[in-house]
Structure formats: C-alpha cells, structure tokens
C-alpha cells in the first residue's frame, strides 16, 4: 500500500503523523511511505531521517495526497485541504466530526473512508488513540492556565502554589478521565488546591488512592459544579463522551458569578467544549474574555509540544496503521472491532451513531456495512 504523510496545516500545528520508526515498520511490511517535504521539522525530525528509514520525500501536499492509498494525519482536514480528498481514499486521523458538520458532509460527499483516532475503542471502553493526546492536553492545561492567570495576561494575578501565609490557587477540574487525572497531577505538582469532579465514583476512588487524598474528589452534579466554579481561580473542562458532543456544564450565567480574572481551560473544545461560551481558538490567539474571565480554548493543545506529542501518538497509532496497510481497511476492521468503531464514513455514508446524532445525519449500521464490503 502507498501511505502518505502530509505536513499539518492547522494554525501552529507542528506535529507529524509518523516518526522514522513508524516509516521503518511500514517499509518492513512492504509498503511505500511518502512524506511531504519538511513535514517533520516542527517535531525536530529532518527529512533525511525519514529517508534513512525508507520514506520517499515529495515536494507538495498535492503529490502526497494524490499518490497515497491511505493518508495518515494528526488533525482533521481543514477547508484548504478538502479538494485533496477523493473517492476510495482511506484517511486515518483525528476527525472530531461531532463538532464539525461541514467536514462530515465533505467526507460523505467525496466518499472518503474516514477512520477517526478518537473513536477507536477497546472492549474496556478505553480510547487507545486518544489516550496519549489526552495525557498531553491534561498535562498542558494547568501550565497554560497558570500563564493565563498572570496579571499581564488578563488573569487574577494568582500564583498556583501561593507562598507562606497566602492561599494557593484553587483549581477545579471537571472530569476525572485521562486528561482530568493528568491535569490534577500537574496542578498538584504546581502547588495548587485541586478539586476533581466526576459522576463516576470509581474514578474518584482511584484518584483518592493515587493522590493520597491530596486531591479533593467530589461527585459531580449541577449544584456541586456551581459551588466549586464560583470559588475557583481556574476551571479545567475535561469531559468526554466518545464520538459525541461534550455536555455544556458551565453556563454563561455561572461564569458571570466567577471571580474577576479567573481562567477557564476547555480541553474538550475538539468535541464542542463543555463550557457554554467555548469556541475554538488557536495558539496564535489562544484566549478570549467572557464576564471578566479568561477562556483558553485552543483546539490542538498538544501541538504546542510536538516533539513529545508526535512520538506518543505514533506509539499508539502505528499497530493500527500497519494493520490497515497490511489487510486493507475493511478486513482490518472486520478482524478488530475496536478499530471498526473508528470508522466514521465510507462510500458516501456516515457510520458512527453518536456523530450522526450530533450533526443530524442518519448513520448506517456498522456491522451491516462491513459485512457488505468486498
């Protein structure tokens, strides 16, 4: 199979979808890998490293997309890339279609086989291809939040760890999944007073032992969220419903009651965000103000640390990419139901029910579709 890896074009997106190790593995399986010139530079990977591992470097994105049977990416295609998508192409990347009806419609109209990293799901419920980037985004959230808390950035001017005789910053994290737990770990390390809310009591019990009861774990409810958010210096939204839009848990009215200069970081922005006022921002212009509070809603947070993110992502995606290349997408999905759940579009049809509910498009039955593909 011909595997294409274009350079990412989203604002300040420096990750790349494969490492030289990944290129070597695909090449060892007899596949050809085509990488766009300078695609890895932002992650400190030179073209010569890809070539040494067996890749062929192409000068343009049009060449890479046009040559490939399967395109590996990091972020979802944006409008300037739509014209490169074509019938019969397999696209393996983050798609986040629940929050992006225009892209959903483009994938359907262009009859692309779209397999989304974020909806590949293990029998345990784990999301193996979202996990590493959730780790990164969770670790980053307190860092970017702490920076936004600085008075020069419009924040309250509060130090996360405080000093002797002065209260630490109060950080409230909504969602105790992978990103929430990592956010709690970093915020705790920065000396903050950390509260973690979730509806899953098992996750809260796990955090109790993990953090030796130094993180306050609270059962999440509308009232609990309201009480905690009003007192917070920083709120981190880390709620995820696989494939579906994130629930809006912090309202505009509640933000109006927060401390002036408080900061809200929405890790769930890719799935529509869990704050009512959330809208996607970029690394170039990351924040906006609502009721004297600062919102940080960058839709590709892990792109800020591309060296770490690229290697962590390839570690997770490579076995699936090799399977797709070796067997073709249909047989690979039939052999691995977890991978099959990643299938979002094929041959002009939507194949993911939660996405269908979010965007108002009827989804085909996944098992029937796989059974009917030759």
What letter does residue 10 receive in the DSSP assignment?
S
Which of 185, 42, 130, 49 has the alpha carbon at shortest distance from 312?
130
Catalytic residue among 31, 96, 216, 346: 96
- Distance separating alpha carbons of residues 130 and 127, to the nearest angstrom: 5
Q: Give, in degrees to the nearest 5, the angle at Cα 73 between 3 and 274.
A: 155
Environment class of 99 (CB within 10 Å of its CB; exposed 0-12, middle 13-18, buried 19+): buried
Query: What burial letters (b/e) apply to 352-369, b meaning 16+ CB within 10 Å?
Result: bebbbebbebebbebeeb
What contacts 304, CB < 8 A, 6 or more positions away?
12, 140, 144, 283, 298
Among the options 193, 266, 270, 277, which is catalytic? 270
Which residues, in sequence order, are CB contacts of 250 under 8 Å at separation 6+? Answer: 174, 225, 229, 235, 237, 264, 274, 275, 276
Residue 10 CB contacts under 8 Å (≥ 6 apart), including other chains: 75, 78, 299, 300, 303
31 classed as catalytic: no
CA 230/CA 217 separation, integer angstroms? 17
Alpha helix locations (H) across 11-125?
Answer: 20-28, 47-52, 61-67, 101-109
The yes-or-no answer on residue 96 being catalytic is: yes
CB neighbours (10 Å) of residue 350?
A: 22
Which is it for strands 216-219 and 170-174: parallel, antiparallel or unpaired? unpaired
Beta strand segments in the chain, E: 2-5, 32-36, 56-58, 70-72, 90-93, 113-116, 170-174, 193-198, 216-219, 234-237, 263-266, 287-290, 293-296, 343-346, 349-350
Q: Which two tokens stand for residue 48?
A: 């010569």
Owner of token pair 């990164």 = 136
Catalytically annotated residues: 96, 270
């Amino acid at each position: 199979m011909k595997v294409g890896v274009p350079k990412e074009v989203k604002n300040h997106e420096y990750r790349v979808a494969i490492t030289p190790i990944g290129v070597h593995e695909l090449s060892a399986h007899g596949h050809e890998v085509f990488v766009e010139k300078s695609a890895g530079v932002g992650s400190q990977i030179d073209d010569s490293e890809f070539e040494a591992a067996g890749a062929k470097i192409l000068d343009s994105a049009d060449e890479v997309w046009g040559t490939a049977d399967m395109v590996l990416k990091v972020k979802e295609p944006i409008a300037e890339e739509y014209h490169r998508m074509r019938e019969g192409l397999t696209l393996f990347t983050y798609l986040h279609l629940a929050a992006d009806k225009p892209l959903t419609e483009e994938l359907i109209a262009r009859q692309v086989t779209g397999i989304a990293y974020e909806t590949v799901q293990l029998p345990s419920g784990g999301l193996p291809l979202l996990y590493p980037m959730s780790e990164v985004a969770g670790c980053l959230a307190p860092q970017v939040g702490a920076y936004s808390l600085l008075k020069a950035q419009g924040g309250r001017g509060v130090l996360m760890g405080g000093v002797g005789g002065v209260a630490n910053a109060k950080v409230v994290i909504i969602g105790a999944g992978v990103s929430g737990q990592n956010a709690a770990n970093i915020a705790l390390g920065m000396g903050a007073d950390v509260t973690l809310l979730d509806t899953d009591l098992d996750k809260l019990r796990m955090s109790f032992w993990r953090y030796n009861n130094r993180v306050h774990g609270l059962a999440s409810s509308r009232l609990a969220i309201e009480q905690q958010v009003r007192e917070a210096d920083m709120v981190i939204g880390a709620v995820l419903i696989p494939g579906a839009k994130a629930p809006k848990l912090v309202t505009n009215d509640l933000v109006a009651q927060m401390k002036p200069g408080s900061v809200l970081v929405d890790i769930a922005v890719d799935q529509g965000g869990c704050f009512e006022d959330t809208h996607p921002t970029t690394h170039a212009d990351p924040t906006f103000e609502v009721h004297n509070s600062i919102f940080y809603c960058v839709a590709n947070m892990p792109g800020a640390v591309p060296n770490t993110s690229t290697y962590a992502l390839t570690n997770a995606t490579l076995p699936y990419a090799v399977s797709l290349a070796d067997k073709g997408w249909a047989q690979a999905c039939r052999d691995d139901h977890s991978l099959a759940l990643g299938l979002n579009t094929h041959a002009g049809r939507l194949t993911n029910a939660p996405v269908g509910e979010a965007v108002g498009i009827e989804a085909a039955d996944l098992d029937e579709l796989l059974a009917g593909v030759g």
